[in-house]
């Protein structure tokens, strides 16, 4: 999945504010907003298998069956699939920062739903919160392209009428998910790319940011690690883990009218070629919402999710194959996509509030809110073992 660096283009940019940006990262890591989350849960059965088996043997076992993670869910978010955070290597501060980040996003969406807002507004609010959090690979904290720039993708979809909007390769939008929503509501199009998308967002009131806005030390180190790896050299474990932890964000929701919505936002893959577009802004690949079937947001190896038309297939398996949300999500994520050579995960919510978050990657950060107001965050493999 990783692209090879184009030699000669690295370090051509002048990074003017690295110290300030690093301080912002540190501030993100030290977030102290309280959360009412309960970790853990999930249904663990079966024996550990696959590449993550070593760690999972100690931490918990993967699930071998398709069954939902939770019921009565109204809103869920993810913070990306990939190499998992490891309990024994994660400081309490870092654990709290991730759980707070996910819970804050849930709370942002909940606020919208609590005051009678629709599911589209709820997923937009949740994703904006994650985009503003430098821990995640979307908005502030987006990964670097191979020539040390940032190009962001996002999409949003409304389940009631299949309206959708998306932006790809934007370089100057603070919250790409809001640009995607504007494409949906204020243009006759579904997907705008590149400069045109940046201009459209600015013309509709989104204040532009410079590329330096997205900068974080962790993503810079991850780019360096990816480039070293591509040359066959060794990089530090932390930087490599960050490079592999994809960190895309997404949200799914159902509102008081039982309308579904889904949204996804990402910086893409570390060290990607400039111009590369993944699955996240593509309706039916990274994002899909259709009343009667599912609201789904994916994360993982984008090329595979594109080729497998991941979230549209999930919906189709429900609509035409008679599967429930967990069975359909399991079929796509565990049975079909790995055969194409990639891994990742999806959060999937049906109109009844049945929720599943299957993933073939070692981990997938996610959280959900149930009707009674409970927020559950899951960040470690023993809370969310991969489905096999």
Active site residues: 248
Q: How far is the CB of 296 from ligand ASP (least distance, A)?
A: 13
Are 227 and 62 a contacting pair, CB within 8 Å?
no
Binding test (CB under 6 A) with ligand ASP, winner from 129, 248, 361, 377: 248
Q: Which among 100-108, 128-136, 244-252, 323-331 is the span making contact with ligand ASP, rule CB under 6 A?
A: 244-252
Coil, strand or helix at 388: coil
Q: How far is the CB of 266 from ligand ASP (least distance, A)?
A: 5
Binding test (CB under 6 A) with ligand ASP, winner from 279, 331, 350, 383: 279
Residues in Cβ contact with 76 at an 8 Å cutoff, skipping those fewer than 6 apart: 106, 251, 252, 253, 347, 349, 355, 357, 366, 367, 368, 369
CA–CA dist 346, 387 (Å, integer): 12
Q: How far is the CB of 267 from ligand ASP (least distance, A)?
A: 8
Binding test (CB under 6 A) with ligand ASP, winner from 101, 278, 342, 386: 278
Coil, strand or helix at 362: coil
Binding test (CB under 6 A) with ligand ASP, winner from 60, 101, 109, 268: 268
Q: Which among 110-118, 158-166, 272-280, 375-383 is the span making contact with ligand ASP, rule CB under 6 A?
A: 272-280
Q: Which among 63-71, 208-216, 263-271, 315-323 is the span making contact with ligand ASP, rule CB under 6 A?
A: 263-271
Binding test (CB under 6 A) with ligand ASP, winner from 266, 270, 291, 311: 266
CA–CA dist 166, 157 (Å, integer): 9
Q: Binding of ligand ASP at residue 280 (CB under 6 A)?
A: yes
- Kindly give the pairing relationship between strand 295-300 and strand 191-193: unpaired
Q: Binding of ligand ASP at residue 302 (CB under 6 A)?
A: yes
Residues in Cβ contact with 182 at an 8 Å cutoff, skipping those fewer than 6 apart: 165, 200, 201, 204, 206
Q: Binding of ligand ASP at residue 246 (CB under 6 A)?
A: yes
* Residue with smaller CB distance to ligand ASP, 113 or 310: 310
Q: Binding of ligand ASP at residue 62 (CB under 6 A)?
A: no
Binding test (CB under 6 A) with ligand ASP, winner from 244, 299, 313, 377: 299
Question: HSE (CB half, 13 Å, CA atoms) of 9?
Answer: 13
Sheet holding 295-300, edge to edge: 287-289, 295-300, 344-349, 355-356
Please report the DSSP string for 251-309 in residue order.
EEEE-TT--EEEEEEE--STTBPTT---STTSBTTTEEE-TTS-EEEEEE-HHHHHHTT
Residues in Cβ contact with 231 at an 8 Å cutoff, skipping those fewer than 6 apart: none
Q: How far is the CB of 198 from ligand ASP (least distance, A)?
A: 18
Are 233 and 90 a contacting pair, CB within 8 Å?
no
Question: Could you say which residues in the range 335-364 bind ligand ASP, by CB under 6 A?
Answer: none
Q: Which among 181-189, 220-228, 274-282, 307-315 is the span making contact with ligand ASP, rule CB under 6 A?
A: 274-282
Coil, strand or helix at 363: strand
Binding test (CB under 6 A) with ligand ASP, winner from 80, 109, 159, 342: 80
Binding residues for ligand ASP, rule: CB under 6 A, are 80, 246-248, 266, 268-269, 278-280, 299-300, 302, 305
């Amino acid at each position: 999945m990783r692209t090879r660096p184009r030699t000669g283009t690295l370090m051509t940019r002048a990074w003017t504010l690295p110290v300030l940006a690093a301080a912002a990262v540190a501030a993100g890591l030290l977030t102290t907003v309280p959360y009412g989350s309960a970790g853990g849960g999930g249904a663990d059965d079966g024996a550990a298998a696959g590449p993550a088996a070593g760690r999972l043997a100690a931490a918990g076992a993967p699930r071998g069956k398709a069954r939902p993670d939770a019921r009565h869910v109204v809103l869920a978010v993810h913070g990306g699939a990939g190499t998992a955070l490891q309990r024994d290597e994660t400081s309490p501060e870092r654990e709290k920062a991730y759980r707070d980040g996910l819970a804050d996003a849930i709370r942002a969406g909940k606020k919208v739903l609590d005051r009678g807002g629709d599911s589209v507004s709820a997923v937009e609010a949740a994703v904006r919160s994650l985009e503003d959090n430098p821990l995640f690979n979307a908005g502030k904290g987006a990964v670097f392209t191979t020539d040390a720039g940032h190009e962001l993708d996002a999409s949003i979809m409304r389940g009631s009428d299949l309206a959708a909007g998306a932006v790809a390769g934007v370089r100057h939008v603070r919250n790409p998910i809001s640009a995607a929503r504007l494409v949906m509501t204020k243009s006759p199009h579904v997907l705008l790319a590149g400069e045109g998308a940046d201009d459209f967002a600015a013309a509709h009131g989104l204040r532009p940011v410079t590329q330096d806005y997205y900068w974080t030390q962790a993503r810079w180190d991850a780019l360096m690690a990816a480039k070293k790896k591509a040359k066959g050299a060794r990089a530090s474990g932390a930087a490599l883990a960050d490079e592999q932890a994809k960190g895309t964000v997404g949200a799914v929701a159902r509102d008081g009218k039982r309308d579904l919505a889904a949204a996804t936002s990402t910086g893409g893959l570390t060290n990607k070629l400039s111009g590369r577009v993944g699955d996240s802004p593509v309706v039916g690949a990274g994002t899909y919402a259709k009343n009667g079937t599912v609201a789904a947001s994916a994360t993982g190896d984008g090329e595979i999710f594109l080729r497998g038309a991941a979230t549209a297939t999930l919906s189709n398996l429900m609509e035409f194959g008679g599967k429930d949300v967990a069975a359909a999500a399991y079929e796509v994520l565990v049975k079909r996509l790995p055969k194409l050579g990639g891994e990742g995960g999806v959060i999937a919510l049906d109109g009844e509030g049945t929720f599943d978050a299957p993933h073939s990657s070692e981990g997938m950060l996610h959280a959900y809110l149930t009707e009674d107001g409970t927020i559950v965050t899951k960040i470690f493999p023993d809370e969310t073992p991969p489905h096999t």
